[in-house]
Amino acid sequence: MLTDAFFDQLSVCDNDHEILVKFIKLIDPSADEGAFTHALESQFGGIMGLFAASYSKLARNNAVGENLAILIKYMQIILLRTMKTKIRNRDLISNISHLKGNCSPPI
């Protein structure tokens, strides 16, 4: 059984491959981890490329397949909507000097 501690550790993991392989194995326990990791780097260029890839490119990839491609695209849409909401709900420039480039905006 998974715990909050498991997800807390996963959230600070710097290894995109490890996170994605855990996700893949949860969805498809028979998935070939090596093939997926290889495709992630060689064909998609990492996690950003994976989420930026078109559905058809993902679905055609043997290491990803149609079902996982569908989930990845849904995840991409959810992530984009979340980020858009965060951006809409905060001031991007809180000081005129930020606009002029005199100092960096707060993070």
pLDDT in tens, 90-107: 766 667 776 666 555 555
Residues 6 or more apart from 35 whose CB is under 8 A from it?
Answer: 62, 63
Residues 50 and 40: their CA atoms lie apart, in Å, by: 7
* pLDDT for the residue numbered 60: 96
Amino acid at 60: R
The closest of 42, 2, 36, 44 to 20, measured between CA atoms, is 36
Whole-model pTM: value is 0.70
pLDDT of 5 reads: 92
Per-residue confidence (pLDDT) for residue 4, from 0 to 100 = 94
